[in-house]
Structure 1
Amino acid sequence: MTYAKLDEALRLLGLDDAAARLYPALLDLAPAPLSEIAAAAGVAGMAGADPAAAYADLVDAGLAQAAGAGGDPVAPVPPAAGLEVLVRHRAAALEESRVAIGGAFESFRRRRLATHHDTFVEVVTGAAVGPRTRQAWASARDQIRQLESPPYSPMPESTDDALATLARGVTQRVVYSRESLEHPGRLREAIEPCINAGEQARVLPSVPVKLVIIDDAYALVSLALDEADVHHTTLVVQPCGLLSALIALFEQCWRQALPFHGRTTSPGGLPPADRRLLWLLAGGASDETIARELGISRRTLFRRLQILMARLGAANRFQLALHAQRQGWL
């Protein structure tokens, strides 16, 4: 029988080549003498390989039963318990590797800082920006905090990266500018899918900078195209006073921003279309933008606004947004 990539999977769990080659043959031939299984697997001919030691590794991993007298016959056992132990050991080893490599780089950074004073901020330009941004999203462990606003560079995979990060259980808090909501297609194609996937979103009339903070580890600050001349430029800010200031800036914007998401149900029988209208209104979107996103005419939009204002006793749009927030509609 063919076991595609089984030996590779076993090596990833920490078993050596001999044990990884022995196990598929064990599944095909057991119960059988160990010598026969080792010969079929080619372990007996491997330089420096000991079939008995390789089988003992499988036993220790909980994948095979202990050999009887003389080592015959041998057989596999249900792997669930053994695999759980292997996976935990592997995860612990990977975490130790992560800490060791991170610590080694931090030592390098500190040594270079003492000599060159140039590692607090890294400048990434041109074609390198996209891969570096994707790497940042993939590296997040706990949370991503973002201040979002145009201009947007052509990165069609950015929404997929955000959705994948949410699917991993990483918290995402994003403050959007009003321009983000009004940018053609941005709301429907990028913002709403992320909100529906669990992103916590708020909106301000404007944000002071385009910013992505990965955990508390580092931040990416994107320069607008006109600020960076003809270059697409991102600053990668490492732990320092500047990173602390950027985190504080995000938290201040978050406190001041209006929520741009709500409960999944429609409170008080509010139709989903009207609730979406209120989201856009609270975000400061223009009449043209709201009508376009809802797929209605401006006349229909005005009629819906009049009905909502009458329902809440609001004299103007500002009061409408305020009352809607108090009612839990935003």
Structure 2
Amino acid sequence: MLTDLGLDGSADDVKAFRYLASVPSASTRDIADALGCPLATAEGIVERLATHGLMAPVSGGEGRWAALPPEIALGPRLTRLRESTRRAEVALAELGEAYRRERGSSPSDLVEYIDGPAQAQRLLEIQSAAKESLWAFQTGTNTVTSVASTVTMEPAAPPGLENRVIVDSEFLTEPEAVRALNDRLSLGHQVRVVDHPLMKLAIADRSVALVRTSPQRTMMIRQPLVVLACELFEATWRRARPYLRDDSGLEPLDRQILQLMLSGLTDTATAHQIGTSPRTVQRRLRALMDTARVTSRLQLAWHALRNSWI
């Protein structure tokens, strides 16, 4: 969690913060006992969490600490990271456009523009040629290929191919989006979700990338320009959340409902995606709220994130 936000921290730091969030306050010794670690280790954890603004000393409680709301301590940093990603996306598109203007469209160009139906064919070509990695952003209305075919159109992956996909909230509203993502998981693909809009992007073997610049046009970039696309993907991946954690202890249907709720889908849209009724969605969310001992969906979302339900 901390490293995803560009902060120095370990898994024990996250465990310590989660422990502090579950109690009114705790001493360094309490933290050491909760984590089963030496006191000196707990002291280092306390120092790091305090430096990051995730905890503060309790007034009048000598030697005791209390957790601070993460949205207050880390919210501004997350906002800056999102803005940095947005600027990188704009810079990538502007750089490609500037290169095209300056160099024209000769066969030796590092940038090539593909229009209309040829976009789907070029996407299939780079997927077929991938030997080591295939990374993608998926978002919004799919005009080149339908959501249902985003998996089935992909060729059989060679052994060891790293297949990573990041989707945004708009993608999750598309028909059959959940089925397509579940198919990816069954094939061993890694899938993560972000709440801010993405551009359409596909990168093969870190050597060639397709970037959608408009519904009718896609820009293909090669080395060394593709490095920018790789850095954008990696930065977004680090702060994206996993799609359907398998270590949450929840039923798969509940994990899907929580994921779609966090992405902003209505009960009706969620029911349509998972093939059930809005009443069933509401009933299961109510049961999750009872389990978490909360009274609102906002509190349920915070509990789900804090307790690794999603």
TM-score after normalising by structure 2: 0.59
Q: Kindly indicate whether residue 136 of structure 2 is the aligned counterpart of residue 146 of structure 1.
A: yes
**1:258 alignment partner in structure 2:** 241
Q: Secondary structure at the match of 1:251?
A: helix
Q: Secondary structure at the match of 1:162?
A: coil
**1:243 alignment partner in structure 2:** 226
Q: Kindly indicate whether residue 303 of structure 2 is the aligned counterpart of residue 323 of structure 1.
A: yes
* Structure 1 residue identity aligned to 2:115: T
Q: State the structure with more CA Rg.
A: 1
Alpha-carbon separation, structure 1, partners of 2:163 and 2:111: 24
Could you tell me how far 1:257 is from its partner in structure 2? 1.7
**Residue segments in structure 1 that go unaligned for 5+ positions in a row:** 1-112, 226-231
Could you tell me how far 1:205 is from its partner in structure 2? 2.2
**Residue segments in structure 2 that go unaligned for 5+ positions in a row:** 1-102
* Structure 2 residue identity aligned to 1:311: T
Alpha-carbon separation, structure 2, partners of 1:172 and 1:186: 17
Q: Kindly indicate whether residue 119 of structure 2 is the aligned counterpart of residue 129 of structure 1.
A: yes
Alpha-carbon separation, structure 2, partners of 1:163 and 1:138: 6
**1:192 alignment partner in structure 2:** 182
Instruction: Assess if the C-alpha contact under 8 Å between 2:202 and 2:209 holds in 1.
Output: yes
Q: 1:170 to 1:124 in 2, by over 3 A?
A: same
Q: Secondary structure at the match of 1:281?
A: helix
* Structure 1 residue identity aligned to 2:164: R
**1:99 alignment partner in structure 2:** none
The one of 190, 196, 218 equivalent to 1:234 is 218
Could you tell me how far 1:163 is from its partner in structure 2? 6.6
The one of 180, 199, 204 equivalent to 2:171 is 180
* Structure 2 residue identity aligned to 1:175: I
Instruction: Assess if the C-alpha contact under 8 Å between 1:260 and 1:283 holds in 2.
Output: no
* Structure 2 residue identity aligned to 1:280: L
Q: 1:323 to 1:196 in 2, by over 3 A?
A: farther
The one of 276, 279, 300 equivalent to 2:280 is 300
Runs of 4 or more above 4 Å deviation: none
Instruction: Name which structure has the greater RCO, CA cutoff 8 Å, separation 6+.
Output: 2
In the TM superposition, 1:6-45 aligns within 5 A as none
Alpha-carbon separation, structure 1, partners of 2:155 and 2:192: 17
Alpha-carbon separation, structure 2, partners of 1:282 and 1:162: 29
TM-score after normalising by structure 1: 0.56
Number of residue pairs matched by the alignment: 205
* Structure 2 residue identity aligned to 1:318: L
Q: Kindly indicate whether residue 191 of structure 2 is the aligned counterpart of residue 207 of structure 1.
A: no
**Structure showing the higher helix proportion among its residues:** 1
